[in-house]
Every structure is written in C-alpha cells, then in structure tokens.
Chains A and B, each alone.
Chain A
Amino acid sequence: MKKSMTLFLAWVSVALWAQVKVGDVAPSFNLKNIDGKMVKLEDYRSQKGVIVIFTCNHCPYAKAYEDRIIALDKQYRPKGFPVVAINPNDVSIVPEDSYENMQVRAKEKGFTFPYLYDATQEVANAYGAERTPHVFLLKKSGDKFIVSYIGAIDDNYKDASAVKTKYIEQAIAAIESGKNPEPSFTKAIGCTVKRK
C-alpha cells in the first residue's frame, strides 16, 4: 500500500515532458510550413536569433495574441529576430487545428511568418512546450542557437494596451546589448498542447 502510494505521488508530481532550459542548445526542427515547403532551424543561421512560438488556431489565448505576434515579426524580422510559429496540436483531438485550418487562419490574419505543423508533437516534446501560446526565444551563438528566454509574450493576454512588461521585446533588447534577458522565464495561462 505504502509503495503504491509513493509511486502514485511520484507520478503526480513528475512533469511528463522535460523542458529545455535557458542556456541550453535549442533543439533543431524540420517541419512543413503552410505553403507546403519544409522549414528548419538551420535555415536561420544568418539571423541573430529566432522567436519560436508554439501556438494554434483554436485557443482563445492564442487568438488574443495573433495580432501581437504579427507585430513582433514586423518589428523584429528586419532586426534579425524573425518569428517562427509552430502548431503542435493533434488534429484528432482538436479538428480546428488541422493543417488546412492553419492555412485558412494564416490567410485570414495575414501572417507574415512561417506557420509550421508539428503533427506528431516531436518538436513540442523536444522543447517541452506546455501550452499555447508558449515562446522560446533563441539566440544565435557560433553555429548553434541557444535558448535565451522561455515564457509569455507580455503580461496581459486580454488587453494589449494595458501591457506593462513586454517580455520578448525586453529579452531581445538585452540580447542586443550583450546581456542575459531578465526575466528569462515567465509563466502564463494558456491552452494545453493537445498531445496524442
């Protein structure tokens, strides 16, 4: 009885997917974009970094951030930090997050960045993405990318005009001036990544 209790508690408290940590080398990926072409992390070697955002079509929190993600890409792509969005949700759990619906949503909203489909959650598992939206800001270092910030885009999902701290902008400014982002890790409410 005691043993089963211990096992049970261990199971409750252990996270199911280990998450990359700030300072880790960013896991590579090679995923299909909404235009049918494959996009891989190595394609961005000439950039200073990449704003990797796990997001999806259906989640209200993800939707609340769509316009802000587009604005981030417009502002930071010319500065060497483009956005790459990845939908990690299993289509059998959320039909609205299908590849075809990603194409529809990207067109409706006028996405300026790749929107990749991680159909098997392989990349979400490698990064340890827990929710949508969930941001991993990568910094180019030598021939690798280093995870420099993990978390939220800003501190108010509901009202962009009431935001006090823009975490991504702040983190990129720190990287640009040779410092480590502070905070380098934030949490936010979001929808679970829908794993098979």
Chain B
Amino acid sequence: MKKLIFGIVVLLFLFYYVSAQVQLPILNFEKLEPLLRKQNDTVYLINFWATWCAPCRKELPDIEKIGEKYATSKFKVILVSLDMPETLQSTLYPFLKKNNIRSTVLVLDDPDSNRWIDRVDSLWGGSIPATLIYRGKEKIFIEKQVDFNYLDSVLTLKFFKP
C-alpha cells in the first residue's frame, strides 16, 4: 500500500512537472513541408524566425495583429522557429509566454538548410526573417522584415480582395 501511494505521488509529481513545461513540436523539413503545400481555400502565412533575430522580434507583434484582424477569415499564421532545440527552455518558451504569442508555433530543426531552402521558395537566400504567404498555388515570398501595413496590403490586394 505504501509503495502504491509512493508510486502515485511520484506519478503526480511527474505529471505536473511535464505539464508545466511548454512543449512544441520539433520538426525536420520533411515533417514541415506538408504545411507549405496545403491545397485548400485557406491563406497560410508561414513566418521563419528565431528569438535571437532582432528584426524577427520586431515584426512579430505585427504578425500577431494581422492574425487577429483576419481571425474570422480563412487565414492561419504559423510561426516556424529556427531557435536551436537545446536552447528552447531558456529562449523560445519564455519569449512566447512573455509576449503572449497566440499563433501556432513550430520548431524546425534541420541543419542541412541548403537541402530545403529552395523547397520553401527558390527566391529565398537563407536569411531570416522570411515570410511565405500562400493559398493553393498562389504565393508570395518576402525575405525581409515586414510590418502590419505591408502584410495587410498584401492580404487585401492579393488574397482577400474586397
């Protein structure tokens, strides 16, 4: 009986410990790629970023606002973090919490980037921030810092024509 109680206590402790930690999916490119190729009527905004990248940190609140503005449209923001997986507990997770990031966040861990950069977009040189906006076959790729007005005009001009 004592053993059983001890076991339950240990399990409960483990459960609380694990659930207290944010855990995001860590993907290689093959696992990520289907998200860049969805063939439906939703507009996807895929932003490649990292917490150590200053222009990425600057544009993120604007991307969040865009997500809010188009929340009722067929629109989805996916933030693909290139933070190094072994630093997530000290960098990415506190950053997401502090800045109250609501968009979907994934971690891409695939160091052989020459293999997959062109598969995101052949125009991409490899610097971040970089943003892909697509719906089916229509797409726009932007390799620079964006802001709310810029994204808003891309979305209204190209994807959500009034």
Which positions in A face B, CB cutoff 8 Å? Answer: 5, 8-9, 12-13, 15, 59-60, 93-94, 130-131, 151-152, 155-159, 162, 164, 186-193
Chain A residues in 8 Å Cβ range of B53: 191
What are 29 A-B contacts defined by CB distance under 8 Å? A5-B158, A12-B141, A12-B142, A13-B141, A60-B50, A60-B84, A94-B54, A151-B114, A152-B114, A155-B114, A157-B111, A157-B113, A158-B111, A162-B111, A187-B114, A187-B117, A187-B118, A187-B125, A187-B126, A188-B113, A189-B113, A189-B126, A190-B127, A190-B128, A191-B53, A192-B127, A192-B128, A192-B144, A193-B127
Judge whether A158 and B127 touch: CB under 8 Å: no
Q: Does B140 contact A (CB under 8 A)?
A: yes
Q: Report the number of A-B residue pairs with Cβ-Cβ less than 8 Å.
A: 71
A187, B126: Cα distance in complex, Å: 6
A188, B117: Cα distance in complex, Å: 7
Q: Does B157 contact A (CB under 8 A)?
A: yes
Nearest A residue to B124 via CB reads A187
A188, B153: Cα distance in complex, Å: 30
Q: Does B41 contact A (CB under 8 A)?
A: no
Chain B residues in 8 Å Cβ range of A187: 113-114, 117-118, 124-126
Chain B residues in 8 Å Cβ range of A193: 127
Chain A residues in 8 Å Cβ range of B157: 5, 8
Nearest B residue to A16 via CB reads B144
Chain A residues in 8 Å Cβ range of B128: 189-192
Q: Does B82 contact A (CB under 8 A)?
A: yes
A151, B154: Cα distance in complex, Å: 31
A196, B157: Cα distance in complex, Å: 29
A157, B112: Cα distance in complex, Å: 8
Judge whether B84 and A186 touch: CB under 8 Å: no
A68, B30: Cα distance in complex, Å: 28
Chain A residues in 8 Å Cβ range of B125: 15, 130-131, 187
Chain A residues in 8 Å Cβ range of B111: 155-159, 162
Judge whether B55 and A192 touch: CB under 8 Å: yes
Chain A: minimal CB distance from B47 (Å): 14
A193, B157: Cα distance in complex, Å: 29
Judge whether B113 and A60 touch: CB under 8 Å: no
Chain B residues in 8 Å Cβ range of A5: 157-158
Judge whether B54 and A130 touch: CB under 8 Å: no
Chain A residues in 8 Å Cβ range of B129: 192
> Assuming A130-B126, A191-B127, is B140 touching A12 (CB within 8 A)?
yes
Nearest A residue to B115 via CB reads A155
Judge whether A131 and B126 touch: CB under 8 Å: yes
Quick one: which of B54, B82, B123 has the most chain A CB within 10 A? B54
